[in-house]
Structure 1
Amino acid sequence: MTRSLSQKFRFFTFVCIALLAYVHGYNLNETYLAPYSTVEEPLTFTTFFEYFVANGLLRFRIPMLFMISGYLYATYDHRPYKQQVKNRFRTLIIPYFIWSVFGLLFTFLLQQFPYTANVVAASALDQLGDNRPYTSIGWAGMLERLIFRPIAYQLWFILTLFFFNLFYPAIRWLVIKLPYIWLPFTFILFFITVVNLPFIDFRGLFFFSVGVWIQKRNFSIEAEPKWFSLGLALILFIGLSVVKTFMAFELEPNVWSSWIPLIIIYQASVLAGIMAMWFGADKVIKWFTQKEWFNYASGFSFFIFGMHVPLLPYVMKWALMNTSMITYYRLLCYLLVPFITLCFCIWAGSVLRRFVPKVYAVMTGGRGF
């Protein structure tokens, strides 16, 4: 792997994770944004901007992370399978449980005080829809949340990634032996999938497979292909995101006639976004990777990933409760709270890495040193 490609992977890994704060930090009345989500509140500059950013422009990130993960895993697949699985258990599953426990304990602590308990209840983060205090849910409910439905809901990504790694020999065989069947099949799954099976994200499976295919075919991803038009990709990426945002405010909610066009436009914008960002950001990447502060901050990518939820939603709800007298308070909170949360995560990570490096290493799977 060349140095420039390594820098590109590091840049996009950090950016994709950092931007999660703005994907998870929106304050629309619709608390969960899926590809097919409509918005049941008036169209204003604030609501348009938040949906456009959180459920439009920034949705290329997770597919790109799956592609990078597939490429990198394929690069080192010469190592023994058992060794690889053992290593991924250490770097993915152990941090999964640590951050799941952290989310539960942090939420439980906030529930012990009336003021912060109201913030937790109003945030309504529980994936099972039961937002009672944990003391009322019981040990069985807590165990289910620890393993399968963590309050730190972003952890689904690393659990899914572990299972892709676990089944990597089969994925690799399909990518190498049956690429013209497997890749179109997973592409169709990516395009039509609304609900995924437990531990398997069909949208991620396509991009992980593409990453493996690119690495195995030695396909150059550093230089812009001759057939590629950055201008057209940007027009499609931004234009489709704008169109989808307007449609989300106009279409009837919770019906297939609305979901189908929203899903198609969403997936098309994701594909255009990946292409536009990957091949159009070289000068930006070069500028940032020459900055000492960026290289320092990018070392905390995984720590940011693990810590930002449930911290961010709770801080956002608290900020909204206390700034409602300010004009455009929802927009201001959306712009500022995710950034402040990112800075706090980097600061907290730097403190842990400096004073208890062994603890930090376990929490991040050995990343960031």
Structure 2
Amino acid sequence: MNNSELSKVVDIMRLPLIFFVIIAHLVPFTLPVVHFPSNANALYTLISEIFSHHLAKLSVRCYFLVSGYYFFNRYKDDLLTFLKRQFKSRFRTLLIPYVVWNVLTVIAVFFKNYTFNYLGMPLDDHVSILEKGNLYNIFWGLPANFPLWYIRDLLCMIVLSPLIYFFIKNLKHYGIIILAVLYVGSFDTNVPGLSLTAIFFFSLGAYFSIEKKDILYIFNKIKSPAYLLMICFLVLSLANNGQQYQEYFLRIFILTGVVSIFNLFSYLSERFAVMNLLQGFSSLSFFIYVVHEIYIINWLKGYFYGLTMYENGGGKILIYFAIPFLCLAICAGLYYLLLKIAPKLLVFSLGDRMPNYNNRENDREKRIESHY
């Protein structure tokens, strides 16, 4: 396995994938009918559906795969000792940030609402949801900081890792095929934390690691059919947007899209030295991930959606692409401000993820593994 090359590709992918997480949260969860773009409004609908409800979904799936791979990457012989070490590491890098940022979200919601209410403004939906909810829903079922559903599911995969290990060791690639069929068939548990999305992609990454397979080599061998199928099923999914069979097309698009994302960034990494500038931003990326939904992106949407230019399709398109860059800039500014005034608290809240953009070439593989 070429761990060094994979680590470089994953490091480069991290910030762009977080950018797509922001894009995923620009539009509602509802799926509008997509028409051939005969006018600017139809073009906006097509663009927003391609990016927010399709391409953006590839981000978390890639993270699950990489997490499964690096969880088992250093396993050798003693499974029990290995699992104890991994559980201890993930407690620091996953559970602590999960609790901290859910608590901070609850505090932010109540502080904002009751401050604004004191000034004569109405309470928003967020506070009513929290007031009506219970601790289980706030910290697990929802959770309060919605994007943290990924960490919630990842924590469950860590707990299930012994079962995943024996499943793969006994069934090998046949086990992955079974999970792939279940995933594409849209079978799911509907149990918070046990999504088939997490189970399949984490197990796929674990399979590559346990069986000592080279992800980039295998994905590169199927890059042409993967690209072709990704485009075909993107078209089919869009054509059936919101309809009965759309989810099946979407899941095949996601499966081939994940392969294509790795191939794309592997190609860019090899051909363009400028891509190296994206290395070393794990701490910043994680901060953007946990903080952008705490009012930042919603306030940006609230402001821009109220502008006159948002009333026409062309204005909608411009605003659609402007918001994620502004959100990214605000989150980055807040990150560097906190890094100056409260660096220890910031690093603790991020699971001891240290800023390392000034040291991109040193211990890259070790840093990648520690963060997954």
Distance 1:338 1:214, change over 3 A: same
Match for residue 45 of structure 2? 47
Alignment-derived partner of residue 350 in structure 1:
336
Query: Are 2:183 and 2:197, in contact at CA under 8 Å, matched by a contact in 1?
Result: yes
CA distance in 2, matches of 1:296, 1:206: 28
Task: Give the alignment's TM-score, normalised by structure 1.
Answer: 0.82
The verdict on how the C-alpha distance between 1:38 and 1:195 changes in structure 2, with shifts beyond 3 A counting, is farther
Check whether the contact 1:312–1:338 (CA below 8 A) recurs between aligned residues. no
Q: Aligned partners of 2:189 and 2:45: how far apart in 1?
A: 26
Aligned length: 341
**Residue in 2 aligned with 1:319?**
303
Aligned to 2:354: 368
Match of 1:209 among 195, 198, 203: 203
The answer for the alignment partner of 1:171 in structure 2 is 164
Cα deviations by residue, 1:259-296 (Å, 9 ceiling, x for unpaired): 2x201110111122112221233242346764675336
Give distance in 1, aligned partners of 2:273 and 2:337: 23
**Given the superposition, is the C-alpha separation of residues 141 and 227 from structure 1 closer, same or farther in structure 2, using an over 3 Å criterion?**
closer
Could you tell me how far 1:200 is from its partner in structure 2?
Answer: 0.8
Aligned-residue RMSD, C-alpha: 2.9
Task: Indicate the SS of the match to 1:193.
Answer: coil
1:224 & 1:170 partners in 2: Cα distance?
A: 25
What is the match of residue 98 of structure 1? 100
**Separation (CA, whole Å) in 2 of partners of 1:23 and 1:274:** 16
Question: Per-residue CA shift, 1:295-346, capped at 9, x if unaligned?
Answer: 3645411111111113344224322443134543332222111111112112
Q: Tell me by how many angstroms 1:93 deviates.
A: 1.2
Q: What residue in structure 1 maps to residue 247 of structure 2?
A: 263
Change (3 A) 1:106 1:159: same
Query: Against the structure 1 CA distance between its residues 56 and 133, is the aligned structure 2 distance closer, same or farther, given a 3 Å change threshold?
Result: closer
279-288 or 3-12, larger mean C-alpha shift: 279-288
Cα distance change of structure 1 residues 225 and 5 upon mapping to structure 2, 3 Å threshold: closer
CA distance in 1, matches of 2:297, 2:156: 28
Cα deviation for residue 227 of structure 1 reads: 4.4
The yes-or-no answer on 1:113 pairing with 2:116 is yes
Does structure 1 residue 193 correspond to structure 2 residue 196?
Answer: no
Q: Is the 8 A contact 1:320 1:329 kept in 2?
A: no
What letter corresponds to residue 204 of structure 2 in structure 1? V
1:220 is displaced (CA, Å) by 1.7
Tell me the distance in 1 between the aligned counterparts of 2:188 and 2:304.
31
Q: 1:297 to 1:227 in 2, by over 3 A?
A: closer
* Identity of matched residues, %: 21
Does the Cα contact within 8 Å between 2:283 and 2:354 map onto a contact in 1? yes
Secondary structure of the structure 1 residue equivalent to 2:354? coil
With over 3 angstroms needed to count, the CA separation of the structure-2 counterparts of 1:165 and 1:77, relative to structure 1, is farther
How far off its partner does 1:58 sit? 2.5
TM-superposed deviation, 1:176? 0.9
The more displaced of 40-49 and 85-94 is 40-49
Are 1:274 and 2:258 an aligned pair? yes
Matched residue, 2:278: 294
- Aligned partner letter, 2:167: L
SS of equivalent residue, structure 2 residue 240: helix
After the TM superposition, which residues 233-252 of structure 1 pair with which residues of structure 2 at under 5 Å, given as runs? Answer: 233-248=226-241
| Conserved 8 A contact 1:52-1:242 | no
1:132 corresponds to 2:128? yes
Q: Which runs of 5+ in 2 are unaligned?
A: 356-372
Contact conserved, 1:224 with 1:279, CA < 8 A, in 2?
Answer: no
Secondary structure, aligned partner of 2:142: coil
How far residue 213 of structure 1 moved from its aligned partner, in angstroms, is 0.9
SS of 1:19's equivalent?
Answer: helix
CA distance in 2, matches of 1:265, 1:291: 32
Is this contact kept in 2: 1:159–1:199, CA < 8 A? Answer: yes
Q: How far has the Cα of 1:224 moved from its partner?
A: 6.0
Structure 1: 5+ residue stretches without partners: none
